[in-house]
Structure 1
Amino acid sequence: MHRKWWNLIRIRTIETGAEPGGGEPPQPEPPQSDPQANTGGEGDEKLGEHGMTALKNERRANKSLREQLAAANARIKEFEDRDKTDAEKASERIASLEKSNTGNAAKALRYEVAVDKQLPKVLAERLQGSTREELEADADSLLKLVNVQNKPNVKPDPSQGKGGDPKPNSLSEAISAYYK
């Protein structure tokens, strides 16, 4: 509750450009990860009309600042790349492609081991190891855990299922077998 009121005061001071006690406007704080920042929080309906307006304005400003930050980072990267030679740009591109290739090869190997060991597809990402042998050992241990959890606790009833008597070929045979 206290934090919400403080945010409203801070929003008003930022909009007016002055601190409540006078002096310099506050410096913007780095964005904090707020799980309810982009979605309606569970306490939003308790804010009232003015609180909801302030919250929407804050979220709009936050989105705008994030877009400005992304644009500024792109410009910084552009300025850094401006002074690089073509060889440096090519070597950076090769390094990023090699990193991507390594990640894709590791992912493909995990899926290959999962298929070979008949491990469910959803568990392939959980395999850990850098070599095929390590991945196979991890898959074996994971399979043991999965099989332990999937074993039925109830033993089958031997009296159920297909009986030993042959099926009758006609209705008259079935009636005579019933009365025997």
Structure 2
Amino acid sequence: MHRKWWNLIRIRTIETGAEPGGGEPPQPEPPQPDPQANTGGEGDEKLGEHGMTALKNERRANKSLREQLAAANARIKEFEDRDKTDAEKASERIASLEKSNTGNAAKALRYEVAVDKQLPKVLAERLQGSTREELEADADSLLKLVNVQNKPNVKPDPSQGKGGDPKPHSLSEAISAYYK
């Protein structure tokens, strides 16, 4: 009998947030049914009519409090999950922005090195390295491989393009120049 009343007091103190001995209120957790508690049946008849009414009222109140506690715990869990999800979303967003920022900075550095070394824009994406020095060394080796030079050293072919003769203005002039 003493154990039943203690469980009821414990449930009521959880609901009010106070502890019988003072101190911090306990974290809400659903009360576990006491296996030794009298849940009806044997021994209840000894209480008499008033005792049975009080016992039924207490059991009804206990059941109601357990339902309220379960609903409150479900709401708390819902709020925790909602906040956790928002925090996770923010964390993922920050991680993706940091990754994007790092990628953009590396891409900008590759293009800067390509411009400095006068490497064609098409080859700038092929540069490899994490530091400016590594990228510059790779650009130098790439310039040697593809034999790209800063200024083209190509001599014009005299057999191509405009020759020394004046250009004919009409078809008849072209025909007469051909047969000369």
Q: CA deviation at 1:93?
A: 0.6
Match in the other structure for 1:96:
96
Q: CA deviation at 1:112?
A: 0.5
- CA 1:161–1:84 in 2, change beyond 3 Å: closer, same or farther? closer
- CA 1:84–1:167 in 2, change beyond 3 Å: closer, same or farther? closer
More off after superposition, 51-60 vs 153-162: 51-60
Is the contact made by 2:113 and 2:135 (CA closer than 8 Å) also made in structure 1? yes
Is the contact made by 1:81 and 1:89 (CA closer than 8 Å) also made in structure 2? no
SS in 1 for 2:125: helix
More off after superposition, 160-169 vs 133-142: 160-169
Distance in 2 of aligned mates of 1:46 and 1:172:
137
Deviation beyond 3 Å, 4+ runs, structure 1: 1-85, 148-180
SS in 2 for 1:6: helix
Is the contact made by 2:110 and 2:124 (CA closer than 8 Å) also made in structure 1? yes
Is the contact made by 1:106 and 1:130 (CA closer than 8 Å) also made in structure 2? yes
- CA 1:43–1:144 in 2, change beyond 3 Å: closer, same or farther? farther
Distance in 1 of aligned mates of 2:80 and 2:57:
34
- CA 1:117–1:172 in 2, change beyond 3 Å: closer, same or farther? same
- Partner deviation per Cα, 1:25-84 (whole Å, 9 max, x = no partner): 999999999999999999999999999999999999999999999999999999999673
- Partner deviation per Cα, 1:110-142 (whole Å, 9 max, x = no partner): 000000000000000000001100000000001
Q: CA deviation at 1:2?
A: 82
Unaligned regions of 5+ residues in structure 2, if any? none
Report which structure shows greater RCO (CA 8 Å, sep ≥6).
Answer: 2
- CA 1:150–1:60 in 2, change beyond 3 Å: closer, same or farther? farther
More off after superposition, 137-146 vs 50-59: 50-59
Q: CA deviation at 1:13?
A: 66
- Partner deviation per Cα, 1:140-174 (whole Å, 9 max, x = no partner): 00111122799999989999999999999999999
SS in 2 for 1:150: coil
Distance in 2 of aligned mates of 1:43 and 1:15:
29
User: Considering only CA atoms, is the larger Rg found in Structure 1 or Structure 2?
Assistant: 2
1:24-173 matches, within 5 Å, as 84-147=84-147
Q: How many residues align?
A: 180
Q: CA deviation at 1:176?
A: 27
Is the contact made by 1:129 and 1:138 (CA closer than 8 Å) also made in structure 2? yes
Is the contact made by 1:110 and 1:135 (CA closer than 8 Å) also made in structure 2? yes
Q: CA deviation at 1:23?
A: 68
- CA 1:170–1:119 in 2, change beyond 3 Å: closer, same or farther? same
- CA 1:4–1:88 in 2, change beyond 3 Å: closer, same or farther? closer
Unaligned regions of 5+ residues in structure 1, if any? none
